[in-house]
């Protein structure tokens, strides 16, 4: 996909990889719209990048359906159709399941699993009408493999992967030129996963963001970062018993202990 002159909407676009992807899109001469719950972050991002091109922002709580629908209407009124939608906003609690509050569980699912579907529903109709568009969903390698202290987060990302790739198949079945890319990164060093300790290298946010943007440009279907994560997990699950896979993942790769010292982004 040629990104020049395309209108790109990024949720969670005022920090982390969302902010970096916004800059990369502006460098490709796209028109960028960011959604974020943090107004100060929106203002800072626009101030940082306004010299690069056309960027605007909206304060949105993506766990609020009415807020999503009202802001989507305003975006269409202000900017017309969205060509590229990047569902990037996400949260993690990082505790054992029994320590999650009811609010923790509901909010995680609302933001990580429900919001991408509800936001896409607001913009997909126009993409279908013009028979062009791209939807990129930022899931997680946590959607491929179970992990202690990530149970609800993993559930939300497993959900996102299943919906995202099903949507891709629906677009193909309908012969529509609306592409869907599902991204499954390992831990990214943005602050969201502060305290994580890993034998597998934690991802650089700049490099990860560039990989995602290039995946959109190349109309990739499913992308893990690093690329071997999908092959290792799926192949291992296919040929190993549960006990052997647990040993390999927990003891050899050390994944099951990565969240032991998790602190997360400071509020």
DSSP state of 201: P
Q: Please say whether the beta carbons of 7 and 80 come within 8 A.
A: yes
- Catalytic site residue from 153, 186, 187, 256: 153
Distance of CA 263 to CAs 153, 220, 254, Å? 15, 33, 18
Check if 153 is active-site.
yes
| Spatial distance between the Cα atoms of 187 and 48, rounded to a whole number of angstroms | 26
Q: Can you spell out the DSSP letters for 91-152?
A: ----S-GGG--HHHHHHHHIIIIIHHHHHHHHHHHHHHHHT-EEEEEE--GGGTS--TT-HH
| Spatial distance between the Cα atoms of 128 and 88, rounded to a whole number of angstroms | 22
| Spatial distance between the Cα atoms of 182 and 122, rounded to a whole number of angstroms | 19
Residues annotated as catalytic are 153
């Amino acid at each position: 996909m040629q990104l020049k002159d395309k209108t790109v909407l990024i949720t969670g676009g005022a920090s982390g990889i969302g902010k970096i992807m916004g800059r990369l899109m502006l460098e490709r001469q796209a028109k960028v719209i960011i959604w974020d719950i943090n107004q100060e972050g929106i203002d800072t991002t626009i101030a940082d990048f306004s010299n690069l091109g056309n960027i605007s922002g909206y304060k949105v709580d993506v766990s609020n359906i009415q807020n999503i629908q009202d802001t989507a209407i305003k975006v269409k009124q202000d900017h017309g159709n969205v060509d590229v939608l990047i569902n990037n906003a996400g949260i993690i609690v990082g505790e054992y399941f029994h320590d999650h509050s009811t609010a923790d569980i509901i909010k995680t699912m609302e933001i990580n699993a429900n919001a991408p579907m509800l936001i896409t529903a607001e913009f997909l109709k126009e993409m279908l009408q013009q028979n062009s568009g791209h939807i990129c969903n930022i899931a997680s390698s946590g959607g491929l493999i179970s992990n202690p202290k990530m149970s609800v987060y993993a559930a939300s990302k497993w959900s996102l992967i299943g919906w995202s790739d099903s949507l891709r198949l629906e677009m193909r079945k309908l012969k529509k030129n609306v592409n869907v890319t599902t991204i499954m990164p390992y831990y990214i060093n943005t602050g969201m996963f502060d305290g994580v300790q890993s034998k597998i290298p934690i991802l650089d946010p700049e490099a990860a963001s560039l990989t995602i943007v290039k995946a959109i440009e190349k109309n990739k279907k499913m992308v893990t970062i690093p690329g071997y994560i999908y092959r290792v997990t799926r192949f291992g699950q296919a040929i190993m018993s549960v006990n052997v896979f647990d040993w390999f993942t927990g003891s050899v790769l050390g994944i099951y202990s990565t969240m032991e010292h998790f602190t997360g982004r400071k509020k």
